[in-house]
C-alpha cells in the first residue's frame, strides 16, 4: 500500500489526528533548539569564571545530559509497551492520545539538553565546546517524535498482545 493511500484509510487518519499535537511540539522544540544554537554561535561571551570553574560546569552539564538521555530512553522503552500503561479497553484513539502525551513529556524533559548547553554558553564556553548539546537535543526530539511509520510499527507490536486495538 502506498503511503499516500494509507493516509486515506481510517487508521491513517486516526494516526495523523492522534499524533498531530506531539508532532507540532517536536517541530517547535527543534526550532527553539536551533535558535539557541544560532545565538550561541553568533554571540561571543567572555568567561565570567576561572578556567577550572568552567571545566567543572562543563563536566557537570555533560553528566546531567547523559543521565537525562539514559532516563528518557529507559522510560521510552519500558512504558510504551507496558501492560500497566495499556488497558484492554483502549481503542486506537485512546492509545494514540496516551502515547502523544507521553511523547510530549519526554520531549519537554529533553529540553534539559539545549538549556544545559546555553547555560554553559552564558558562563563563557564557546560554541565549539557546546554544539553537541544542541545536536543531541535535535536528534533526541526527532527520535521521540511520533512519525507515521514508527507509530504503525509500534501498533503492529502492540496488536500481537492486544488484538482489539
Kindly state the percentage of the chain with pLDDT values over 70.
95
Bigger pLDDT: 86 vs 99: 99
- Residue 25 sits in which domain range? 3-161
pLDDT at 85: 80
Position 80 confidence tier, pLDDT thresholds 50, 70, 90: confident
Q: How many CB atoms are closer than 10 A to CB 145? A: 20
pLDDT at 61: 94
- Distance, in Å, from the CA atom of 5 to the CA atom of 26, rounded to the nearest integer, reads 25
pLDDT at 63: 96
Domain tally, the chain: 1
The answer to whether the beta carbons of residues 139 and 130 sit under 8 Å apart is no
Q: Which three cell numbers stand for residue 60?
A: 557537570
Q: Which three cell numbers stand for residue 106?
A: 519526554
Q: Which of 4-13, 21-30, 91-100, 154-163 has the lowest mean pLDDT?
A: 4-13
pTM given for the model? 0.86
As a three-state string, the secondary structure of 42-87 is HCCCCCCCCHHHHHHHHHHHHHHHHHHHHHHHHHHHHHHCCCCCCC
Instruction: Give the mean pLDDT of 72-91.
Output: 83
Amino acid at each position: 500500500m502506498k503511503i499516500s493511500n494509507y493516509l486515506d484509510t481510517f487508521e491513517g487518519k486516526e494516526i495523523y489526528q492522534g499524533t498531530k499535537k506531539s508532532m507540532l511540539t517536536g517541530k517547535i522544540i527543534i526550532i527553539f533548539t536551533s535558535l539557541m544554537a544560532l545565538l550561541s554561535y553568533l554571540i561571543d561571551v567572555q568567561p565570567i569564571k576561572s578556567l577550572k570553574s568552567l571545566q567543572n560546569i562543563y563536566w557537570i552539564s555533560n553528566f546531567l545530559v547523559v543521565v537525562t538521555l539514559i532516563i528518557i530512553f529507559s522510560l521510552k522503552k519500558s512504558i510504551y509497551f507496558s501492560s500497566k500503561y495499556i488497558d484492554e479497553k483502549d481503542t486506537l484513539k485512546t492509545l494514540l492520545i496516551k502515547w502523544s502525551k507521553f511523547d510530549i513529556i519526554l520531549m519537554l524533559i529533553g529540553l534539559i539538553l539545549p538549556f544545559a548547553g546555553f547555560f554553559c554558553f552564558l558562563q563563557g564556553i564557546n560554541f565549539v565546546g557546546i554544539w553537541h548539546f544542541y545536536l543531541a537535543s535535535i536528534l533526541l526530539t526527532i527520535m521521540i517524535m511520533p512519525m507515521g511509520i514508527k507509530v504503525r510499527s509500534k501498533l503492529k507490536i502492540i496488536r500481537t498482545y492486544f488484538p482489539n486495538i
